Structure 1
Amino acid sequence: MRIRYIAWPAALLVGASLLGAPAANADSTPVALTATFNNPAGPAAAQDAIRNQLISLINRTPAGAEINGSIYLFTDGGVSGALISARKRGVKVKLIVDGDAVPAYEPGSNPPKATGSEYQTLAAPTGLGTDPTADSWVLACPADRGCIGNRVLGPDDDGAINHNKFFLFSKVGGTENVVFQTSANLTGSQRKNLFNNAVTIPDAGTGLYAAYRSYWQDLAAYGASGPGLAGYYRTRQSGPYETYFFPRPESANTGYADDASTDTVVAALDGVDCAGGATRIRIGMYAFTRVQVADKLVRLKQAGCRVELLHNGESGNLGGAVKNAISGRFDLTARCAGSAPNGDGTSRTIGIHSKYLLIEGGYQGAVNRKVVFTGSHNYTYPNLRSHDETLLKIDDAAVHDAFVANFEAIKAGGYCTAW
């Protein structure tokens, strides 16, 4: 399958026709496998590339089809407007948001942090409504947990959230069963301050759509009633794709931060073969606090792999134990917290919010393998043990190469500093 790669220059062409676009009539154009990346330091269309890709999919969904979404934070009026327009033309739109997306701003945040200004618009009768028996609705997970996950890891933990960021389409244009998975929340800061990624995947008989939809149905069912679950973990192989849905509990009689045997990312890295020194591992990560993952990467570097990490520069996003474990041990470790002008004499910090792992070379007994792990899953203990999360493995060389191009562009862009 050929991949369509929306890089930053291409986004200039894509985005201009989508902002404020009315809902389009259904068409027969097929949906291509697509990797999309924004550039928060670029012009508006490059900043909005991921958001505009999503709006395009919504606008191309025909009457009678269904859109299922699960998103953490939602302040984007363009996306909510497209969803409401889709409902009005006969699309069934069913959306799950985290409880943090219900208030317009995060309580007590200073400065005020926008979280959910679009929920009220979507919940209104003129939006999607909240009736779970209707063809369209929006559901907020309970305020004190995720939709499935209900675990509090300790006294300093705020508890589980629905951290997912995906949309499912039963039909887009001439293509049935399309999955849109992104690292981005639907907020302005995600477009203008942070590098993010997305993939658009036509099912093409792989079963990927069914795997996601089964998980989405569980999010809806547990979110609507009951106390939720402390552990949920599900995986499914779907052709070249593999899904991992969280929270994943640790083994019995171990602490949540002590059990590498139930860390999905450590298990993924167990398949890497560094013999010959040709294997490369590239990571673009918002939050990284799991020291077992760091230790595994250090061992792979020592075994001959090339390991590079771009991490977000916000305080606390790189855990102290992780920093100590990796310091001076990778081929590149770079903190992404550069500055870009706003055009009014002020500036904004440019970081990375992506959550991807790229493996090129020896993997699971094969040579010259090219694999991507992406989704909503940060390398933190809550993302593993308590949150509603998705990790998606993509075994496709073209997708991998598109992600590598994004990694190299961020690395060379002047917003990440090696240390």
Structure 2
Amino acid sequence: MRIRNAAAVGALILGASLLEVPGAVAADDSVALTATFNDPAGTTAQQDAIRNELISLIDRTPAGAEINGSMYLFTDGGVGNALIAAKKRGVKVKLIVDGDAVAATGPDGKATGSEYAALAAATGLGTDLAADSWVLACPVTRGCIGNRNLGGGDDGAINHNKFLLFSKVGSTDKVVFQTSANLTTSQRRNLFNNAVTIPDAGSGLYAAYLAYWQDMRAYGSSGDGLATYYKTTDSGPYKTYFFPRQERTGTTYSTDPGTDTVVSLLNNVDCAGGTTRIRIGMYAFTRSQVADRLVQLKGAGCRVELLHNGEDGNLGSAVRDTIAGRLDYAARCAGTATDAAGVARTIGIHSKYLLIEGTYLGGANRKLVFTGSHNYTYPNLRSHDETLLKIDNAAVYDAFAANFESIKAGPHCTAW
């Protein structure tokens, strides 16, 4: 396994894993299982680690192969140019973006889709779905699949996914790239994110993602979408969870923990003996039932720790009240870093991962990572197009745990 991240994290895991610089390629041009983390307060290379890993995969995709992707926001010219160049050398590039990525900026003035025009142009990927390459924007009023508006200030469903699929990279067939990062400058420069590069290796993971992507294309290009879609697939050491997932009849979107996937995952944890550990790095956390379950697990003997983004509203008031003083550790990530030009930036966390070490589903000494695009909010569960990915691999777990501890020990998160 290859680990690509900031030097501080690399030092923690060097003894157990091969540490490589971003974009490093094996001598035989094969793709290994790789965990990548950026450091928004680090060097340019450390900030761009996830982006550089993705561009490396795109650049190594041979003519005749296919890239299928789904992305929420897209303003990264480096990735956009790499995709267009791949098309020009004979790669079939098919990309789905959210409707919010069509306009260069959103209503708040933040960059959302400045690359869309170049991708949609005839000199880019084009928009003809009958062609070998194209870009498709989901309907502006919903996601590609999800069509639900929860009300109460919710803006409605979006395609919040962040993954690309490669039929071949170098000498390796069927590669999945899943990240927590949108393809924007702010995600690289201001927020901690994570990514995994996974060769299928006969697991069936690539096929599971591709079937979901094909449904996104079908529903996104015609019809009215769906209020619920929830599908899960076991693929060897991996499991995919695709959303939205609707609550049961007789409940509301916020009052049915029985259909909250994260609550269900936490229900599989056994805290007996006091050795099980739960670590969460999360951008947005507003689901009170998840908070309730974390407090219960702490009370049952698990060690429970949380790093959350510090932007106003990203930690719901009900969640804050539930966990205050009741977890082993909780920290708000909203520090500052000053760039070479003397400009101060707020540094937060945009990752979306849950780490479980200990007893899970009756098995002891498990090391599991749950990551993807899925925040712990109700829209992420009930309305958005989302992916949650389970990874049952000790080396990947160790890399994520090292990332958590590095962020925790750094200057950008403050315990409360």
TM-score by structure 2 length? 0.96
Aligned to 1:48: 48
State the shift of 1:344 in Å. 2.1
Aligned to 2:363: 366
Aligned to 1:400: 397
Aligned to 1:186: 183
Aligned partners of 2:103 and 2:113 also within 8 Å: yes
Inter-partner Cα distance in structure 1 for 2:203 and 2:20: 31
Do structure 1's residue 278 and structure 2's residue 279 form an aligned pair?
Answer: no
Do structure 1's residue 309 and structure 2's residue 306 form an aligned pair?
Answer: yes
State the shift of 1:13 in Å. 6.8
Aligned to 1:73: 73
Aligned to 1:21: none
Letter of the structure 1 residue corresponding to residue 78 of structure 2: G
Aligned to 1:8: 6
Aligned to 2:171: 174
Inter-partner Cα distance in structure 2 for 1:307 and 1:7: 24
Inter-partner Cα distance in structure 2 for 1:346 and 1:203: 42
Inter-partner Cα distance in structure 1 for 2:152 and 2:377: 16
Aligned to 1:200: 197
Match 1:379 to one of 376, 380, 387: 376
Q: How does 1:10-409 map to 2 (within 5 A)?
A: 14-15=21-22, 28-107=28-107, 109=108, 112-409=109-406
Letter of the structure 2 residue corresponding to residue 4 of structure 1: R
Inter-partner Cα distance in structure 1 for 2:333 and 2:363: 33
Aligned partners of 1:196 and 1:354 also within 8 Å: yes
Aligned partners of 2:172 and 2:199 also within 8 Å: yes
SS in 1 for 2:356: strand
Inter-partner Cα distance in structure 1 for 2:402 and 2:228: 36
Are residues 336 and 173 of structure 1, via their aligned partners in 2, closer, same or farther at CA, if it must alter by over 3 Å? same
Aligned to 2:16: none
Aligned partners of 2:120 and 2:126 also within 8 Å: yes
Letter of the structure 1 residue corresponding to residue 285 of structure 2: F
Aligned partners of 2:146 and 2:384 also within 8 Å: yes
Would you say how many aligned residue pairs link Structure 1 and Structure 2?
407
Inter-partner Cα distance in structure 2 for 1:341 and 1:161: 33
SS in 1 for 2:273: helix
Aligned to 2:14: none
TM-score by structure 1 length? 0.95
Inter-partner Cα distance in structure 2 for 1:235 and 1:13: 33
SS in 2 for 1:378: coil
- Root-mean-square deviation (CA, aligned residues, Å) is 1.6
Inter-partner Cα distance in structure 1 for 2:324 and 2:106: 34
SS in 1 for 2:21: helix
Inter-partner Cα distance in structure 1 for 2:244 and 2:106: 24
Aligned partners of 1:47 and 1:192 also within 8 Å: yes
Letter of the structure 1 residue corresponding to residue 21 of structure 2: V
State the shift of 1:142 in Å. 0.3
Inter-partner Cα distance in structure 1 for 2:5 and 2:254: 37
SS in 1 for 2:321: helix
Inter-partner Cα distance in structure 2 for 1:157 and 1:269: 26
Aligned partners of 1:14 and 1:52 also within 8 Å: no
SS in 2 for 1:148: coil
State the shift of 1:14 in Å. 3.2
State the shift of 1:370 in Å. 0.2
Match 2:415 to one of 402, 405, 418: 418
State the shift of 1:261 in Å. 0.2
State the shift of 1:343 in Å. 2.2
Residues 249-298 of structure 1: per-residue CA shift (max 9 Å, x gap): 00011000000000000000011010010000000000000000000000
Inter-partner Cα distance in structure 2 for 1:351 and 1:85: 33
Inter-partner Cα distance in structure 1 for 2:249 and 2:393: 36
SS in 2 for 1:276: coil
State the shift of 1:345 in Å. 2.5
Letter of the structure 2 residue corresponding to residue 29 of structure 1: D
Inter-partner Cα distance in structure 1 for 2:96 and 2:219: 11
SS in 2 for 1:227: coil
Structure 1: runs of 5+ lacking an equivalent: 19-23
Deviating runs (4+, > 3 A) in structure 1? 10-15
Are residues 13 and 178 of structure 1, via their aligned partners in 2, closer, same or farther at CA, if it must alter by over 3 Å? closer
State the shift of 1:224 in Å. 0.3
Inter-partner Cα distance in structure 2 for 1:123 and 1:346: 34
State the shift of 1:29 in Å. 1.8
State the shift of 1:346 in Å. 2.2
Are residues 155 and 297 of structure 1, via their aligned partners in 2, closer, same or farther at CA, if it must alter by over 3 Å? closer
Residues 21-80 of structure 1: per-residue CA shift (max 9 Å, x gap): xxx9xx952100000000000010000000000000000000000000000000000000
Residues 154-212 of structure 1: per-residue CA shift (max 9 Å, x gap): 14110000000000000001110000000000000000000000000000000000000
State the shift of 1:7 in Å. 2.0
SS in 1 for 2:366: strand
User: Matched residues, percent identical?
Assistant: 74
Inter-partner Cα distance in structure 1 for 2:71 and 2:348: 21
Letter of the structure 2 residue corresponding to residue 60 of structure 1: R
Letter of the structure 2 residue corresponding to residue 73 of structure 1: L
